[in-house]
Structure 1
Amino acid sequence: MDVSCAFATALDSADNIALAERLGYHRAWVYDTPQQSPDVWMTLALAAERTERIGLGPGVLVPSLRHPMVNAAATATLAALAPGRVAVAFGTGFTGRRAMGYGPIRWSFMESYLRAFRGLLRGDVVEWEGARMRMLHPAGHAPPRPVEVPILVGALGPKGNKVARELGDGLFATLRPPAFMTEHSWVAYLEWGTVLDEGEDTHSEHAREAAGPGWALSLHGAYEFGGPEAVRTLAGGKEWLGVIERSRKQRRHLAVHSGHCVELNAADEAAWYAGGSGTLCEVTLSGTREAIRRKLDDYRARGVTEVVYQPCGPDVQRELERFLEVAKSDES
C-alpha cells in the first residue's frame, strides 16, 4: 500500500509537499476549496518546481468550479512541469460546493464533464454547452496531445462507482470506505488523525490540534448527509447543533464549514469539550502505533492501495514523520 499525503491548500503547501518528498511520501494531493484556500493549480505548479519525484495532483477537483477546458489546460500545464508525476481526482463537492451553499453536483453532470475533459486531453473536438471546442495550444504552450494523466473519481455510492468504473482509472474515497473498493485496482483513501503516545488521552491538546479537524468531519458529514437528527446521536452532537443553529438558516453552511480540515470552529470546539473527543479513535486514523497499524491492515484487506494522510496542527513535519514511520513499519 502506497503512503501519500494531502494538504488543505495553504500558502505553505508547496513547502510542505517538498518536505513530504524528502521524507519519502509517494504522492501529495491538495484540495480544491476556493472559499478557504489559495488556488489549487498555482499551488501545484509551485510544488512541481520545488520537487523532483513525488506525485502531484488535485484531490479533488469540483467540476462546477471550472470549465472543462480550464481544468484540461491546467492539467496539461502541470504535466509539463512534472512529467509522469501527475494524477487528478474529481468529486461532487462535499466542501468545495456545500461551503458556498450549494448541493453536490449530479452524477450525470460528472459523467458528461469527465467525457469532455478526457476528450480535450486526447486532442479531440468535444461538445460542451452547445459549442464545439478542442485544445488549440501550439508548441511551447502545452504538451502535445494526447496528454496521458490518470483520473480518480471520488465515489461513495453505486452511481459514483459506475462513473468511476467507466471513466476513471481508480477511486478516491474518504469518510467511509465503500464496499466496492475491491472492484478497483487503484484506491486512494483519504484519512486524518494522529499517532498518540502511549498513555496519551484523546482529549490532549496535541490530539485536539493534530486530529481534531479530521474528527470534526464526523459531525460535518453527519449534518450534510443525515441532517440535524443524525448529529444529535453523536457524542457532543447536541452542543454542536446548539452553536450551528444560532446562525440564520441561509448562512448556516458558513458556520458548518468554517475551518474545515484545518482547525476546530466554534461548534466543533463545543462538541469536543462536551465529550466528543472520546470518539477520536473511532472516526479518525488516530491511536497508538499498534492501533494505527491494525487499521492500515484492515484498509489494505478492504481494497485500499494508497492511504492518503492529511496532517493538521502547528507541527506538520512531526505529524508527517510519525505517521510515515508507523505506515512503513506496517509494511515490513
Structure 2
Amino acid sequence: MEVSCAFPTALDSPDNIALAEQLGYARAWVYDTPQQSPDVWMTLALAAERTERIGLGPGVLVPSLRHPMVNAAATATLAALAPGRVSIAFGTGFTGRRAMGYRAITWAYMESYIRAYRGLLQGEVVEWEGAQMQMLHPDGHAPARPVDVPILVGALGPKGHKVAKELGDGLYVTLQLPPFVNEYSWVPNLVWGTVLDEGEATDSEHARLAAGPGWALAYHGAYEFGGPAAVQGLPGGAESMDVVNRTPDDRRHLAVHAGHCVEIGEADQAAWDAGGHAILRDVTISGTRDQVRHRLDEFASKGVTEIVFQPCGPDPRAELERFLDAATG
C-alpha cells in the first residue's frame, strides 16, 4: 500500500509538499475548498516548481466551482509543470459545497461534467451548457492534446459507483469504505489521526491539536448527513449543538464547519470538553505506532491501495514523520 499525504490547501502547502517528498511520501493531494483556502491550482503549481518526484493532484475537485474548460486548462498547465506526476480526483462537495450552505451536486451533473472535462483534455469538441467548445491552446500555451492524466472519483453509493466505474481510473474514498472497494485497482483512502506515545491519553494536548480536526469531522458529517439529532447521539454532541444553535438557522453550517480539517472550532471544542474525545480512536487513525500499523493493515486487506494521511497541528513535520514510520516500519 502506497503512503501519501494530503493538506487542507494553505499558503505553506507548497513547502509542506516539498517536505513530504523529502520524507518519502508517494503523492500529495490538496483540497478544493475556496471558502477557507487559497486557490488549489496556484498551490499545486508552486508545489510542482519545488518538487521533482512526488505525485500531485487536487483531492477532490468540486465540479460546480469551475467551468470544465477552466479545470481542463489548469490540469494541462499542471501536467506541463509536473509531467507524469499529476492525478485528478473529483467529489460532490462535502467541504467545498456544504460549508458554503449548498447541498452536494447530483451524480447526473458529475457524470456530464467529467465527460466534458475528459473530452476537452483529449482534444475533442464537446458540448457544455448548449455550446460547442474545444481546447484551442496553441504551442507554448498548453501541452499538445491529448493530455492524459488519471481521474479518480469519490463515491460511496451506487450512483457514484456507476460513474466511477465508467469514467474513472480509480476510487477516492474517505470517512467510510463503500462495499465495492474491491472492484477497483486504485483506491486512495483519506484519513486523519496521530501516532500517540505509549500511555498517552486521548485527551492530551497533542491529541487535541494533531487529531482533533479529523475527529471533528465525525460531528460535521453527522450534522450534514443526519441532522442535529445525529450529532446529539455522539459524546458531547448536545454541547456541540448548544454552540451551533446560537447561530441563526441560515448560518448554522458556518458554525458547524468552522476550522474544518484545520483546527477545532468552538462547537467542536465544546464537544471535546464534554467527553467527545473518548471516540478519538474510533473515528480517526489514532493510537500507538503498532495500533496505527494494525489499522492500516486492515485497510489494505479490504482493498485500499493508497493511504492518504493529513497531518494537523503546529508541527506537520513531526506528524508526517511519525505516521510514515508507523505505516512503513
Confirm or deny a common fold (TM above 0.5). yes
Where in structure 1 do 4 or more consecutive aligned residues deviate above 3 Å? none
1:113-167 deviation digits (Å, cap 9, x = unpaired):
0000000000000000000000000000000000000000011111111100000
Match of 2:81 in 1: 81
Tell me the residue number matched to 1:173: 173
**Residue of structure 1 in register with 2:20 after alignment:** 20
Q: Which residue of 2 aligns with 1:243?
A: 243
**2: CA distance between counterparts of 1:50 and 1:26?**
15
Tell me how far apart the structure 1 counterparts of residues 184 and 158 of structure 2 sit (CA, whole Å): 13
For residues 209 and 158 of structure 2, the distance between their equivalents in structure 1, rounded to whole angstroms, comes to: 35
CA apart distance, 1:179: 1.3
The residue that corresponds to 2:105 in the other structure is 105
Deviation at 1:232, TM superposition (A): 1.2
2:9 maps to what in 1? 9
Kindly report the root-mean-square deviation, in angstroms, between the aligned alpha carbons of the 2 structures: 0.4
Q: Distance in 1 between matches of 2:216 and 2:207?
A: 12
Paired with 1:251 and 1:241, the residues of 2 have a C-alpha distance of 13
The whole-number CA distance in structure 2 between the counterparts of 1:27 and 1:293 is: 19
Structure 2 match to 1:117: 117
Q: Matched residues in 1 for 2:183 and 2:226: separation? A: 27
| 1:233 shift after superposition | 1.0
Identity level (%) = 74
In the alignment, the residues of structure 1 paired with residue 161 and residue 196 of structure 2 have an alpha-carbon distance, to the nearest angstrom, of 34
The 3-state SS of whatever aligns with 1:162 is helix
Q: How do 1:272-311 and structure 2 match up within 5 A?
A: 272-311=272-311
In structure 2, the residue matched to 1:149 is 149
User: 1:218 deviation in Å?
Assistant: 0.3
**1:268-327: CA deviation from partner (whole Å, max 9, x where unpaired):** 000001000011000000001111111101100111000000000000000000000110
| Correspondence 1:1-332 to 2 at 5 A | 1-329=1-329
User: SS state of the match for residue 263, structure 1?
Assistant: coil
- Give the structure-2-normalised TM-score: 1.00
Aligned with 1:200: secondary structure?
A: coil
Q: Deviations over 1:49-107 (max 9, x none)?
A: 00000000000000000000000000000000000000000000001001111000000
**Separation in 1, partners of 2:256, 2:229:** 15
- Supply the distance in 2 between the matched residues of 1:174 and 1:22 (Cα, whole angstroms): 25
How far did 1:246 drift?
A: 0.8
Q: Which amino acid in 1 is paired with 2:251?
A: R
Q: SS in structure 1 opposite 2:172?
A: strand
Deviation at 1:186, TM superposition (A): 0.3
Q: Alpha-carbon deviation of 1:229?
A: 1.1
Aligned partner letter, 1:192: W
Supply the distance in 2 between the matched residues of 1:142 and 1:197 (Cα, whole angstroms): 49
Q: What is the CA–CA distance in structure 1 between the aligned matches of 2:309 and 2:180, rounded to whole Å?
A: 21
Q: Which amino acid aligns with 1:126?
A: V
Q: Kindly provide the amino acid, as one letter, of the partner of residue 309 in structure 1.
A: F
Q: Name the SS for the 1:89 alignment partner.
A: strand
Is there any run of 5+ residues in structure 1 with no aligned partner, and where?
none
Letter of the 2:292 counterpart: I
What is the Cα deviation at residue 178 of structure 1?
1.0
CA distance in 2, matches of 1:290, 1:21: 24
Give the alignment's TM-score, normalised by structure 1: 0.99
Which amino acid letter does the alignment assign opposite residue 234 of structure 1?
Answer: L
Deviation at 1:266, TM superposition (A): 0.3
The residue identity in structure 2 corresponding to 1:209 is L
CA distance in 1, matches of 2:302, 2:178: 9
Q: Match of 1:207, as an amino acid? A: A
